[in-house]
Amino acid sequence: MELAERLLSGDKRAAARLITLVENKDPKAFEILKKIYHKSGNAYVIGITGPPGAGKSTLTDKLVKALRKKDKKIGIIAVDPTSPFTGGSILGDRVRMTDLALDRSVFIRSMGARGHLGGLSESTQAAVKILDLYGCDYIFIETVGVGQSEVDIVKTCDTTVMVMVPGLGDDIQAIKAGIMEIGDVFAVNKADRDGAKRTAREINMMLDFNKADWRPPVELVIAVDNKGVAELLEHIEKHRVYIEDTGEKEKRRIQNCKTEIVDLVQQRLMNIMLDKSNKEELINELSSKVASRKADPYSACELVFENLKVDL
């Protein structure tokens, strides 16, 4: 059977294989996705993000287990911070999720940034489509980190859960301000720790400043003890109803498509610029000149740009 058919019939290995093809930028994968893309759009995509140490993975596990009780089919994409030098994903097989990994209705995949020129966002987007076509009811995208690339990924989700934790120190103000507009639902995890209520209060205060129609709820959670998880899931479902009723979901998805198209064009231009032709040679030569102050980067950019135009 064809890979596309196998995927649509719910073959887990076909899904895994296709994601690998996507990660390897194999044109075959995108040819398949082109053909069956119109069948996608059924899965609900939930982002789980927050600073390191917030317990995002544990919380994801518990949310997934709660949804499994309702017999939902789940996909989990864990986006890992990776070395820009070695590439590839770090957490690898996510050993801590073994019990979920044994569940036939849960698909778990770690994805890492391969190489400097991005592409992680596109790979993640493609993986979401694949898991959607594979038949997942819910897809979780879990990102470690609070950087711009992670924010970009999480923005593609239907509902984003921002996981906070008490006692993160000085940076917390900056993080909170930066993420306030990203979180649709807030979880203060490790709520048995000192300062949990204060953290929740601070988040609530900041959210009160925001005059959006949807006021994100803030839930105290102890993920390891499964406390507050059911409540959190209810908030997620309420947000889902809200964005579906108001047309916000459609609006978000159009915006996501726009971002994806722009990213794809950008990636394609970069591939042309950095292929092993005379352009890379030119760029290397100019880099040396700029480093030794014989040329400036802005004029170098113009030269590369003119050269690029010829080859498009």
- Using CB under 8 A as the binding rule, whether residue 152 contacts a second copy is answered as yes
Distance in angstroms (rounded) separating the CA atoms of residues 258 and 64? 29
- Count residues contacting a second copy (CB under 8 A)? 97
Contacting a second copy (CB under 8 A), which of 8, 17, 66, 81? 81
Binding of a second copy at residue 83 (CB under 8 A)? Answer: yes
Of 17, 40, 68, 231, the one binding a second copy (CB under 8 A) is 40
Long-range contact pairs involving 127-131 (C-beta distance under 8 Å, separation at least 24): 127/19, 127/22, 127/77, 128/43, 128/45, 128/75, 128/77, 128/156, 129/33, 129/37, 129/40, 130/7, 130/15, 130/18, 130/19, 130/22, 130/33, 131/15, 131/43, 131/75, 131/77, 131/107
Binding to a second copy, residues 109-148 (CB under 8 A): 113, 116-118, 120, 125, 144-148
Q: Check binding of 268 to a second copy (CB under 8 A).
A: yes
Closest separation in Å from C-beta 241 to a second copy: 20
Is the Cα dihedral 236, 242, 245, 250 positive or negative? negative
Alpha helices in 167-293 (DSSP H): 172-179, 196-209, 229-246, 248-273, 278-291
Contact residue for a second copy among 53, 192, 201, 278 (CB under 8 A): 53
Q: Which is nearer to a second copy, 105 or 158 (CB)?
A: 158
What are the residues whose beta carbons fall under 8 Å from the beta carbon of 45, sequence distance 6 or more?
A: 128, 138, 139, 141, 156, 157, 158, 159
Q: Does 170 contact a second copy by CB under 8 A?
A: yes
Closer to a second copy by Cβ: residue 146 or 236? 146
Among 61, 80, 158, 219, binds a second copy (CB under 8 A): 80
Name which position in 4, 6, 11, 259 contacts a second copy (CB under 8 A).
259
- Residues of span 184-243 touching a second copy by CB under 8 A: none
Of 9, 246, 278, 299, the residue at the interface with a second copy (CB under 8 A) is 299
Pick from 1, 5, 9, 84 the residue near a second copy by CB under 8 A: 84
| Residue 30, both tokens | 């995108």
DSSP-derived 3-state class of residue 70 = coil
Smallest distance from the beta carbon of 217 to a second copy, in angstroms? Answer: 20
Which CB atom, from 12 or from 307, has the smaller least distance to a second copy? 307
Which 7-36 positions form the footprint of a second copy (CB under 8 A)?
30, 33-34
- Shortest Å distance, C-beta 245 to a second copy: 17
9, 154, 171, 197 from 181: Cα distances, Å: 38, 12, 17, 21
**Any contact of residue 247 with a second copy (CB under 8 A)?**
no
92-96 — which CB contacts under 8 Å span 24+ positions?
94/57, 96/57, 96/61
